[in-house]
């Protein structure tokens, strides 16, 4: 299969998980989704990652985002490992972990990079919109734990710019000023962005985040 790219439809699949069998597209429904892989169960970095995602459950829910993890281990290992995660990270894992022993989903999403490891998945992250299109792809090596604050920041940007003719500047965080799309003329700005704007250059125009009171 060709490498997945931004804007492609996220491939659908049916898989066994710690919360039962899921049909991925049906499971997502009208929600956004985060699908992320971890190299193996009972490993230190992965334990901290899944514990962090569990602690951020409300943050994802508030953004209408469903989260699913994956590794090439089986359900028995997943269920045993969840007990360790809950104990060591003082949390409760309440999202599905996909069992992918036959690597069907891993190969569908190109999560196994042979030059890094021929058997285990790398730390892939896919953010999927409510339209089932891939909005973000990030790949970390097995040795580097992910920054889930950054993932939430990007989701905030993706959801904002999906509905407004805006972009977000470097290091942008929810609530900060946004950049007006170059496709928007100055004449259109008052109707689109009634909070006003400031022009630094004709191509660099800022406006307050529009979906805040």
Residues noted as catalytic:
46
Nearest of 31, 122, 137, 9 to residue 72 by alpha carbon:
122
Pair of tokens at residue 38: 């971890």
Nearest of 100, 135, 137, 136 to residue 121 by alpha carbon:
100
Give the CA radius of gyration of the chain: 19
Strand partners, 11: none
Number of H helices, E strands in the chain: 7, 11
Cα 128 → chain centroid: 7
Nearest of 93, 99, 144, 153 to residue 123 by alpha carbon:
144
Pair of tokens at residue 125: 């992250």
Q: How far apart are CA 108 and CA 131, in angstroms?
A: 19
């Amino acid at each position: 299969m060709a490498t997945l790219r931004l804007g492609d439809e996220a491939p659908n699949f049916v898989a066994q998980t710690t919360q039962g069998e899921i049909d991925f597209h049906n499971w997502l429904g009208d929600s956004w989704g985060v699908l992320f892989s971890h190299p193996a169960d009972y490993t230190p970095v992965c334990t901290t990652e899944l514990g962090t995602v569990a602690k951020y459950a409300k943050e994802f829910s508030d953004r209408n985002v469903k989260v699913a993890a994956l590794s090439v281990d089986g359900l028995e290992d997943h269920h045993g490992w969840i007990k360790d995660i809950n104990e060591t990270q003082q949390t409760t894992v309440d999202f599905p972990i996909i069992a992918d022993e036959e690597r069907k989903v891993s190969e569908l999403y190109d999560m196994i990079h042979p030059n890094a490891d021929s058997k285990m998945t790398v730390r892939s992250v896919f953010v999927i919109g409510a339209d089932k299109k891939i909005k973000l792809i990030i790949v970390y090596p097995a040795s580097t734990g992910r920054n889930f604050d950054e993932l939430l920041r990007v989701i905030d940007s993706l959801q904002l710019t999906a509905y407004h003719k805006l972009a977000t500047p470097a290091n942008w965080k929810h609530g900060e000023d946004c950049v007006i799309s170059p496709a928007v003329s100055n004449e259109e700005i008052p109707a689109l962005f009634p909070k006003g704007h400031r022009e630094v250059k004709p191509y660099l125009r800022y406006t307050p985040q529009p979906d805040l009171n």
